[in-house]
Structure 1
Amino acid sequence: FSPAILARFDAVVFNNTSGDVFTPEQRGAFKTFIENGGGWLGIHAAGDNSHEAWPWYVQNIIGTKFTGHPMDPQFQKATMRIEDRQHPATRHLGPTLERTDEWYSFDKSPRGVPGVHVLATLDENTYVQKGPFGQELSMGEDHPILWWRCVGKGRALYSAGGHTAESFSEPAHAKMLAGELRWVLGLEGEGCSPNHTNGDKP
Structure 2
Amino acid sequence: MNRLNQPYKFLFILSFCILTALNVYAQKSKFHVIAFYTAKNDQAHISFVHEANKWFPEVAKKYHFTYDSTNNWNNLNPEFLKKYKVIIFLDTRPEEPAQRKAFENYVKNGGGWMGFHFSAFALNQSTYNQDWDWYHNEFLGSGEYKSNTWRPTSAFLRIEDPKHAATKGLNHIIKASPNEWYRWQNDLIKNKNIDILLAIDSSSFPLGTGPKQSEIWHNGYYPVVWSNKNYRMVYFNMGHNDIDYEHGINKDLSHTFDSPEESQLVINTLLWLGNGNKTYKAAY
TM-score of the superposed pair, with normalisation by structure 2: 0.57
Aligned residue identity for 2:84: F
Give aligned-pair identity as a percent: 25
Partner of 2:140: 62
Give the one of 107, 125, 136 matched to 2:185: 107
- 1:5 equivalenced with 2:80 (yes/no): yes
Q: Which runs of 5+ in 1 are unaligned?
A: 192-202
Asked if structure 2 preserves the Cα contact closer than 8 Å seen for 1:51 and 1:58, the reply is no
CA drift at 1:26: 1.2
Whose radius of gyration is greater, 1 or 2? 2
CA distance in 2, matches of 1:97, 1:4: 39
Shift of 1:4: 1.0
Secondary structure of the residue that 1:92 maps to in structure 2?
A: coil
1:1-202 matches, within 5 Å, as 1-15=76-90, 17-18=91-92, 20-49=93-122, 50=128, 52-64=130-142, 65-71=144-150, 74-99=151-176, 100-128=178-206, 133-135=212-214, 141-151=220-230, 154-164=231-241, 166-187=255-276
Structure 1 pair 171/129, CA: closer, same or farther in 2 (3 Å)? closer
Aligned partner letter, 1:24 = P
**Matched residues in 2 for 1:183 and 1:137: separation?**
34
Measure, in 2, the Cα distance between the counterparts of 1:137 and 1:116. 26
User: Runs of 5+ in structure 2 lacking a partner?
Assistant: 1-75, 123-127, 242-253, 279-284
1:66 Cα deviation from its structure 2 partner? 2.0
User: Within 2, Cα distance between the matches of 1:95 and 1:125?
Assistant: 13
- Alignment size in residue pairs: 183
Taking the aligned partners of 2:82 and 2:257, their CA distance within structure 1 comes to 28
The code of the aligned residue for 1:119 comes to L
Larger fraction in helix? 2
Q: Return the structure number with greater relative CO, CA threshold 8 A, min gap 6.
A: 1
RMSD: 2.5
> What is the distance in 2 between the residues matched to 1:43 and 1:132?
25
CA 1:187–1:173: 2 relative to 1, 3 Å: same
> Structure 2: which amino acid aligns with 1:62?
L
Q: CA deviation at 1:132?
A: 7.1
Deviations along 1:174-197, one digit per CA (max 9) or x if unpaired, are 111011112222438xx8xxxxxx
Instruction: Decide whether aligned partners of structure 1 residues 21 and 132 sit closer, same or farther in structure 2, where only a CA change above 3 A counts.
Output: farther
Would the alpha carbon gap of residues 106 and 125 (structure 1) be closer, same or farther in structure 2, given more than 3 Å must change? Answer: farther
Question: Partners in 2 of 1:132 and 1:67 — Cα distance?
Answer: 18
**C-alpha contact (below 8 Å) 1:84/1:120 kept by paired residues:** yes
2:103 and 2:109 mapped to 1: Cα distance? 10
- Return the alpha-carbon distance in structure 1 between the equivalents of residues 163 and 187 of structure 2: 21
When residues 51 and 147 of structure 1 are mapped into structure 2, their CA distance, relative to the original with a 3 A threshold, is farther
CA contact (8 A) 2:175 2:262 kept: no
The one-letter amino acid paired with 1:148 is S
CA change 1:178–1:85 in 2 (3 A) is: same
1:66 and 1:58 mapped to 2: Cα distance? 10
Structure 1 partner of 2:44:
none
